[in-house]
Amino acid sequence: MIRIFFSAPGWAEYQPFLPAALKAAGIEAEIVTEAPEPASIDYILYAPSSLLQDFAPFTRAKAVMSLWAGVERIVGNQSLTQPLTRMVDHGLTESMVEYVTGHVLRHHLGMDRHILNPGHIWDPTCPPLARQRPVTFLGNGELGLACARALQALNFPVKTWGRSEKSIEGIASHHGPEGLAPALAGAQIVVTLLPNTPQTHDILSAQTLALTAPGAVIINPGRGPLIDDQALLAALDSGQISHATLDVFRIEPLPQDHPFWAHPRVTITPHIAADTRAMTASDVVAENIRRSEAGLPLLHLVDRNRGY
């Protein structure tokens, strides 16, 4: 029987699902929420908000499996020498697609104009068709590509950008520093779904925001440090960016005195675009442990050099 250390908040949420998922995968396991004998643990289920910081005593652990999609808070831990996986969960992907699609349609259709209309202004201006509204995704991984496909199905012209070259059937894809300008050129809506790495910090800066179509909209459900806050505020004030819908921030919760709260063209959502759901995440964990025990490669293995 293998021993699994659940080192993350929310065990009560996982308790109805994780044992059942492991059993369905043919895995006999004991799940513990404390590890007085670290050398007896085979797998660690982890969240970066856990108190566990020293992985060195877990000499038998075959993998540390993060329950979060982002691993920037753990990937640099020098004591973590075990293989590290990140959470790629279809429930998380579904919720991100719903969030991004909802807010893209909100801005495309100009819904705020009618929902927030204290002056009772009768404005029968119709929006353009989706096919006339170019959308660029910064990030073409699992989440970015799923969202891009959903918008493409609604006839939005979609481009993507990623750090490394990637051929995506039916979607114009750009990569590397030289590909950023053509990816952003003419974009009326930009969605950021990149990981937080030194190479992606402030990828939306004064220079890159200026590449978008005048009056473009920014939607950031990815990571707070992807955007230079001061550059975004300046672009909003100049009209280069007409609105920003932000779900993630450099400091969370967003401090009450941050200028984003008071800006009339900023929408703040409290990091709710996508979350790991215990029901679906348990299936992912069980499958990865099954693969490990069968001698197969782990899914969603983190590349320490790239940071995700």
Render pLDDT for 71-108 as a digit per residue (tens, 0 to 9): 999 999 999 999 999 999 999 999 999 999 999 999 99
- Dihedral (Cα; 259, 263, 203, 104), 10-degree rounding: 150
Q: Is 120 a catalytic residue?
A: no
Tell me the pairing of strands 241-246 and 266-268: parallel
Q: Give residue 263's pLDDT band: very low, low, confident or very high (50, 70, 90).
A: very high
Q: Is 223 a catalytic residue?
A: yes
> At 52, is the secondary structure helix, strand, or coil?
coil
- What pLDDT score was predicted for residue 308? 86
Instruction: Select the CATH number that applies to the domain covering 90-268 from these four: 3.90.850.10, 3.40.50.720, 3.40.50.300, 3.30.470.20.
Output: 3.40.50.720
Of 246, 290, 239, 289, nearest to 266 (Cα)? Answer: 246
Q: Give residue 13's pLDDT band: very low, low, confident or very high (50, 70, 90).
A: very high
Enter the pTM of the model: 0.90
- What pLDDT score was predicted for residue 267? 98
For the domain made up of 2-89+276-293, the CATH class stated in words is alpha beta
pLDDT tens digits, 168-196: 999 999 999 999 999 999 999 999 999 99
Residue type at position 209: L
**What does the alpha-carbon distance between residue 17 and residue 197 come to, in Å, rounded to a whole number?**
32
Residue type at position 83: P
Of 235, 226, 224, 216, nearest to 258 (Cα)? Answer: 224
- What pLDDT score was predicted for residue 135? 98
Residue 307 has pLDDT above 90, yes or no: no
- What pLDDT score was predicted for residue 19? 98
Residue 306 has pLDDT above 90, yes or no: no
Mean pLDDT of 255-282: 96
Structure tokens at 83: 């293989």
Would 2-89+276-293 and 90-268 be classified into the same CATH topology? yes
Q: Give residue 305's pLDDT band: very low, low, confident or very high (50, 70, 90).
A: confident
- What pLDDT score was predicted for residue 27? 98
pLDDT tens digits, 215-233: 999 999 999 999 999 999 9
- Dihedral (Cα; 101, 103, 104, 108), 10-degree rounding: 130
**Domain ranges, ordered by start, for the chain:** 2-89+276-293, 90-268
Q: Which residues contact 151 (CB under 8 A, 6 or more apart)?
A: 100, 101, 104, 130, 135, 158
Mean pLDDT of 123-148: 96
Among residues 3, 90, 258, 271, which one is catalytic?
Answer: 271
Residue type at position 33: T
Q: What's the mean per-residue pLDDT of the chain?
A: 96
Among residues 103, 133, 223, 300, which one is catalytic?
Answer: 223
